[in-house]
Structure 1
């Protein structure tokens, strides 16, 4: 079983409008456990959109996404993976250590 499986994925922004953007068209991808994968391409080619779809931060227009044998939504809810964003989501009033500890605090861990 693959760790991430994307099959015939499509993402259209502003569907049916004059400013429609076909961000991803018929994308299929399989990532096996232990593989290191890089998404390389020019700005605006869909790299971040694909990652956001896999992380269930966006809904696909069509296609299937399976993460760790589950739907992308269930894998997110079960916290089966983590994601680091390009723009740091840090609180400037917290120290580096306190920012790192924040997710643990939110889960109630000491």
Structure 2
């Protein structure tokens, strides 16, 4: 396994056809146990980089590895979790159904989802 939990090599992200380049040729290595901060003015690409690492959006070019795997594979393998800065609850869903949403999207069957939701609710 890689010494880096996150590595990005020559990562570029452009939005739209010939549109806005949010990141250009970014290289980043985050070692195991390291704590980093992304600092910069609004619009400089901090959130875009985090979305790329989390496989929420694909890079236009370049490669991102998480725990030595592609960001996509690491997400599918559930190697990490994502906590959003602002609440992303759907007001038309119950609390349980909001908790269940990522499990549903991950293909968990109904019975397994229900058991996991009960476990999570008991924690709070």
TM-score normalized by structure 1?
0.81
Structure 1 residues without counterparts, runs of 5 or longer: none
Which of these residues, 14, 33, 39, is aligned with residue 12 of structure 1? 14
Instruction: Quote the Cα distance in structure 2 between the aligned partners of 1:62 and 1:76.
Output: 19
Deviation at residue 76 of structure 1 after TM alignment: 0.4
1:35 equivalent in structure 2: 34
Q: Count how many residue pairs are aligned between Structure 1 and Structure 2.
A: 103
TM-score normalized by structure 2?
0.73
1:62 equivalent in structure 2: 61
Which structure's relative contact order is higher, taking Cα pairs within 8 Å and 6+ residues apart? 1
Deviation at residue 91 of structure 1 after TM alignment: 5.5
Q: Secondary structure in 1 aligned to 2:14?
A: strand
Maintained 8 Å contact 1:90/1:99: no
Q: Which has more helix, going by share of residues?
A: 2
1:53 aligned to 2:55? no
Runs of 4+ residues deviating >6 angstroms: none
Cα RMSD, aligned residues only: 2.3
